[in-house]
Structure 1
Amino acid sequence: MQIAVVGAGAVGCYYGGLLLRAGHDVTFIGRQPHVDAINAHGLLLDTKTFNGRLPAIAATDATALAPPDLVLVCVKSADTEQAGRALAGRLRPETSVLSLQNGVDNAPRLATVTGHAVIPVVVYVGSEMAGPGHVRHHGGGDLAIGPSAASQALAQTLEAAGVRTTIADDIDKTLWSKLIINCAFNALSAVAGISYGPILEVEGTRNVVTSAVQEAVSVARASGVSIGDDLLAHILNIPAIMPNQMSSTAQDLARGKPSEIDFLNGYVVRKGAELGIATPTNHAMQVMVKLAERGKAMSARRT
């Protein structure tokens, strides 16, 4: 299968690497340092069960991309439209496009720009780019994909590559549940610079997390998405089961990269305003991360 991974970061390189190892023809579209490393030395796939270099092709844009059978869109949410414009005109009618992105609205945004159907995917993986062209897997890796005529075949392809995949009939609920988890911990992990494990040990943090979750659940339900009453208990247990995981927002801040906070807590804030629902805790988390980003940028300019 001809596969294009648009966004050769931690998520794209992990899943693209597994598909590459399974024998598929994978092209990675990413930033120059990763592209140069992959073209020169192959993709270094570092997982719990495999550590080795895989010959691969990479490029900085999709202009020379042959029409693929499958596209994994793994760019940051702020880059969704740009990625869609790069893909427009390079997709065959039978090409499957999967959005493996944080947030709940990337698939429709991509579909609008490309004029092509996009299947939303919820990602449950801990991974990072440990260096140029080097993806390190920390845990997890399951995917939940939305229903479509191609979903069963896609799930079989992913399963054969070692990716446990389910088809979520209520993908909106799954997307929102993941978003609410991100709203609970991403900002706190980022601003404190700590993993999930110690977060709830600080007095008052449990109340803050609970408030952020309750606000987001109210917004989801007002948007017509059915979120179960058991989600909060599950979220409060995450630091115990993923103690060493740093949020993607924390990783972005540590590297001086723009975060996706406007598409996580910020999305809840915007949607809440549309629906007349107050979201002060999520707003505070969004602002805290924006301040941390500003501080990082000012420090970089001084040096």
Structure 2
Amino acid sequence: MNITILGAGSIGSLWACHLANAGHNVSIWSNKPEKSETLLILDNQNPKRFITNSVLQLKSADVILVTVKAWQVKGAISALLEHLAPETIIVFMHNGMGTMDDLPVSLYEHPIVLATTTHGAYKPSQNSICHTGFGSTTLGGYNNLGQRCHFLSDVFENALPSVTWSDSINKALWDKLSINCVINPLTAIHQCLNGDLLQEKFSTLVVQLVSEICAVRHAEKFEINSDVLLTSVHQVISATAKNHSSMQQDISHKKITEIDYINGYLCKVAQRHGISVPTNQELYSQIKNIEQSWS
């Protein structure tokens, strides 16, 4: 297939290399306007070169895989729409929820697929990617056209397993959001590794966050038992103990975070249902204060 990766960050670069290894014609679209070439080195593999910012590649793309940060999604995909064929499938794979609410109406002429992944990746330099944690990926259709794209799970599975198709992608997204609402802001504020959150000093905060998340999920009809979610949070923390979360990395490099689409999104949904989520709100405010301090 002809696949264009929109956003060559850690996850986008990881998928670019694996999809290319699986035999697909992969190109990259970055925020640099000029047509060029991107060199990527995944772990200890041989370097791979990708055509970058080619309109010709966009026009022939079967799939656009959107891996930019949540706050970049609207601007990034809107700039490409005029070049895409109506049948081009657009797959959104980023942290957080709420980005689909602000996208152009013309986007819905395309098959839209949402994705969530638990793979971990890190870019120690512009051209190198480290696959820091093996996980799984879930895909699901967002609109009627997207719901017909079950075959994509096989395409992605052959590139980087394991991949499953879900007819209830929003549950998978809520599961990922629930984990992110705990790990991301805490590691970002305290500038620590994921595994550090298992320390006793974080235990009360984690329990409070989980309780609030479960209340909001119940209101949204995506119920989960608080003990089950707490166990899942601890399992992910343990499995990614040596990882730096994406938000921790963003704060470390003084970059805008995805907090508006993680704890910020949870707070918005909570407000809509009249649910109090003071712990999530406090973490949201702390991250926003850090971001504002840079200016």
TM-score with structure 1 setting the length: 0.87
Deviations 1:271-299 (A, max 9, x none): 1111111111001111111222234x25x
- Could you tell me which residue of structure 2 aligns to residue 240 of structure 1? 238
Structure 1 counterpart of 2:131: 137
Residue 190 (structure 2) aligns with? 192
Give the partner amino acid of 1:101. H
| Larger deviation, residues 109-118 vs 171-180 | 109-118
Q: Which residue identity lines up with residue 218 of structure 2 in the other structure? A: R
Q: CA deviation at 1:110?
A: 4.2
AA matched with 1:96: I
The one-letter amino acid of 2:177's match is: L
- The residue that corresponds to 2:114 in the other structure is 120
Distance change in 2, residues 1:92/1:120 (3 Å):
same
Paired AA for residue 182 in structure 1: N
User: Contact 1:7–1:30 at 8 Å: present in 2 too?
Assistant: yes
Say which SS state the counterpart of residue 39 (structure 1) adopts: strand
Aligned position for 2:95: 102
Q: Distance in 1 between matches of 2:16 and 2:102?
A: 22
- Partners in 1 of 2:103 and 2:60 — Cα distance? 17
Conservation of the 8 A alpha-carbon contact between 1:125 and 1:140: yes
Gaps of 5+ in 2: none
Q: Amino acid of the residue matched to residue 61 of structure 2?
A: P
Stretches of 4+ moved more than 4 A in 1? Answer: 61-64, 107-111, 147-150
- Per the TM alignment, residue 267 of structure 1 is displaced from its structure 2 partner at its CA by 0.8
Q: Which amino acid aligns with 1:137?
A: H
2:205 pairs, out of 201, 204, 208, with: 208
Q: CA deviation at 1:162?
A: 3.0
Deviates more, 1:219-228 or 1:271-280: 219-228
What's the secondary structure of 2:241's corresponding residue? coil
> Aligned residue for 1:301?
none
Q: What secondary structure is seen at the aligned counterpart in 1 of 2:181?
A: helix
Alignment length (residue pairs): 289
Q: Decide whether aligned partners of structure 1 residues 80 and 113 sit closer, same or farther in structure 2, where only a CA change above 3 A counts.
A: farther
Q: Distance in 2 between matches of 1:185 and 1:18?
A: 27
- Give the RMSD, CA atoms, in angstroms: 2.3
Aligned equivalents of 1:92 and 1:235: distance in 2? 41
| Paired residue secondary structure (1:136) | strand
Task: Supply the distance in 1 between the matched residues of 2:170 and 2:104 (Cα, whole angstroms).
Answer: 16
Cα shift at 1:66: 2.1
Distance in 1 (alpha carbons) for counterparts of 2:269 and 2:281: 12
Deviation readout 1:223-272 (Å, 9 max, x if unpaired): 22233441222113332222111111001111111000111111111111
Contact 1:221 1:227 in 2 (8 A): yes
Shift of 1:141: 4.0
Of the three residues 41, 45, 52, the one matched with 2:46 is 52
1:74 to 67, 72, 97: 67
Q: Is the contact made by 1:151 and 1:167 (CA closer than 8 Å) also made in structure 2?
A: no
Distance 2:236 2:58 in 1: 40
TM-score by length of 2: 0.89
User: Identical aligned pairs, as a percentage?
Assistant: 29
In structure 2, distance between residues paired with 1:168 and 1:228: 21
Displacement of 1:63: 8.8
> Residues 17, 111 of structure 1: CA spacing in aligned structure 2 closer, same or farther, 3 A cutoff?
farther
Question: Counterpart in 1 of 2:25?
Answer: 25
CA 145–134 in structure 1, closer or farther in 2 if over 3 Å, else same: same
Cα distance in 2 for residues equivalent to 1:91 and 1:69: 9
Match of 1:219 in 2: 216
AA partner of residue 168 (structure 2): D
Q: 1:12 is aligned with what amino acid?
A: G
Partner of residue 79, structure 2: 86
Letter matched to residue 254 of structure 1: S
**Residues 164 and 104 of structure 1: CA distance in aligned 2, closer, same or farther (over 3 Å):** same
